[in-house]
Amino acid sequence: MLVAGNWKMNLDLAAARQLTSGLVSTIGKTETTLVAICPPFVDLDATYNILHGSGIRLGAQNMHELDSGAYTGEISAPMLKAVGCHYVILGHSERREYFGETNESISRKALQAQRHRLVPIVCVGESLAQRDGDRQNAVVEEQIRQSLSGISIAKGSELVLAYEPVWAIGTGRTASPDQVEAMHTHIRSLLVELFGQKNGYAVDILYGGSVKPSNALELFARSNVDGGLIGGASLSVDDFASIVRSAESAASS
Ligand code: PGA
């Protein structure tokens, strides 16, 4: 199980330090669940210093596909490694929608992340219109094939997939456990096709979209759901810690 918090464009340095300290003391050591937080770039260094030794890992929300150069405003994989990042979220639907990210650019970024031993959390998910047209499986399949084009893995732990239906992100409207399980099973069979039985099963598939303490357990209990990518609820110590406990319970049952 992996529970990752996506803070998005929230929390300045002081607030980031406060939340991170609260998470370290409240979550403590986990048995079966990996925990990560993905703060804004300017909070990474300070939060890493607080996380260090706690077992909670650090991730970034995006990165550029090249090492360095004249790309004003961008952040590279080596920079993220240097401040202690383990993960990087790639292709979040907000990046796809507002910043023009495409499957092709996401696959270049995913390759770059792997080159620098960052674990990409590659996000996919259909829009409401696509779900209403019953096209979600085809849409997600195309996103996965194209966003992971050229990627190979020797171990499942080198890649994480996050299924986040766009209509469930930040809306309070969560996909039903049946919808989530059906999509995750579809994604699992694709991962097995792409990476083989052993590695395909070892890649964690996270669900994201209005996960909260009240629905985390029923989602995490479903097969092929290996944890969650948490937006809004990751900004509260109590909510995020409760979601982590749900992952622990789901893994042990
Ligand atoms: P949400 O966001 O939990 O606030 O819906 C999830 C995400 O965008 O990763």
- What domains appear along the chain, each with residue ranges and CATH number? 2-24+45-169+179-231 (3.20.20.70)
The whole-number pLDDT of residue 173 equals 81
Give the residue-averaged pLDDT of 130-153: 96
Q: What are phi and psi of 67, to 5 degrees?
A: -75, -40
The whole-number pLDDT of residue 127 equals 95
How does residue 21 score in pLDDT terms, banded at 50, 70 and 90?
very high
The verdict on the CB of residue 224 being under 6 Å from ligand 1 is no
Tokens at residue 200, please?
A: 């395909």
Nearest-atom number in ligand 1 for the CA of 170 is 5
- State yes or no: is 116 an active-site residue: no
Q: DSSP assignment, residue 220?
A: H
Q: Beta partners for 59? A: 87
Q: Are 72 and 83 in contact (CB under 8 A)?
A: no
The whole-number pLDDT of residue 252 equals 86
pTM of the predicted structure, to 2 decimals: 0.97
The verdict on the CB of residue 97 being under 6 Å from ligand 1 is no
Q: What are phi and psi of 48, to 5 degrees?
A: -60, -40
Nearest-atom number in ligand 1 for the CA of 171 is 5
The whole-number pLDDT of residue 6 equals 98
Q: What is the C-alpha separation between 87 and 61, in angstroms, rounded?
A: 9
How does residue 57 score in pLDDT terms, banded at 50, 70 and 90?
very high
The verdict on the CB of residue 170 being under 6 Å from ligand 1 is yes
* Statement: residue 157 has pLDDT above 90: no
Give the residue-averaged pLDDT of 104-108: 98
Give the residue-averaged pLDDT of 139-156: 95
- State yes or no: is 164 an active-site residue: yes
The verdict on the CB of residue 209 being under 6 Å from ligand 1 is yes
Nearest-atom number in ligand 1 for the CA of 123 is 9
Tokens at residue 105, please?
A: 């650019």
Give the residue-averaged pLDDT of 9-17: 98
Nearest CA to 162 out of 226, 214, 72, 75 is that of 226
